[in-house]
Structure 1
Amino acid sequence: MYKVIGATKSRALRVLWMLEELGQPYEHINAGARSPEALAYNPLGKIPALVDGDAVLTDSVAIMTYLADKHGRLTAPAGSVARAHQDALTFWLIDEFDAILWAAAKHSFALPEERRVPAVKDALKFEFERSAAILSDRLDGPFLMGDEITVPDILACHCLNWAIGARFPRTDDKLFHYGKALRDRPAFQAASAA
């Protein structure tokens, strides 16, 4: 059985959701960043961490990719052109969604108060809106890569949820409904309740 270390209201939700979609059992240790529990699995204290046997894996996207490859679901096959397109979208989401939201979070609460530059958040919201429009244009079906949910959908939806919580401007109707449909999935509901 897998063990997931990390608070539900963090990037650990991505891993929990992935495991629910895969139908894999797991133990969840609800721990915050830099907590004693997190430090026991990652010397940097970052969350999430995934324990699989003797292996401890870190970084939510690396963990999701590992799980998708290991179980042969929610991903295109490694070495395929479809996988290269999927990976390109995943990396784009990390750069253009996740990084923007994390920068806003740093200037809201993560950095020491004297290091925060609150004015930067307006520029980050502009960048996020521009990226959301690009993602919306790319969305041509129920999921980003076609007719089935994949790793980029979990990442994109988590970021869209994060943007809502951070009071970023609402995305267009297409992305709003896409995110709502993903949040309505039983696996998302189960992971959120973990």
Structure 2
Amino acid sequence: MSEEATTPSARQVELLEAAYAYALTHGLADLSLRPLAAAIGSSPRVLIFLFGSKDGLVRALLARARADELALLDRFGPAGRKESIGLVRAVEEVWAWLAAPEHRPLLRLWAEAYARSLVEPDGAWGGFARRTVDDWLDALAGCQPPAERDGEQGTTRRTLALAVLRGALLDLLATDDEARVTAAVRQQLTHFGGC
């Protein structure tokens, strides 16, 4: 396949960005092409032509959301740091980003896609939850000093850090009680010991 065939057109990129902005506000669970197309200045026929199907559009939107997630994770992984910062500091910095109100639309979309991929593992959502777990574990590994990262407890500590972040995020999205949830994250970090 030639590079031209795999490179999205300017119109496809433009509509994907507009559809992504729409999805951040409206979610993806009950996505209907007609209202989406009207909201972004297109038609269902054009969206199907450009993305192959509604599932193709959903996959493209999930990939776009994942790109935002990966951009965040790059700030904490080896590419974004000259030295490892340790899990405690990484969790503090990631949590500060997650707790910021301006990131809630993206995080709600992430939670929706994560849950949907668990109940529809073979559809357009398939694999999203697993990929995001792997992405986060890889980024957290980059925050650990090599001796810890490569040691017996490295994976366990990364998994615990991820569990704290994910649980706190879901609680925050459900309640908007940032002060309470942030206090809980900080309390848990005191138990990380040498992380």
For normalisation by structure 1, the TM-score amounts to 0.33
After TM superposition, the score normalised by the length of structure 2 is 0.33
Greater fraction of residues in strand: 1
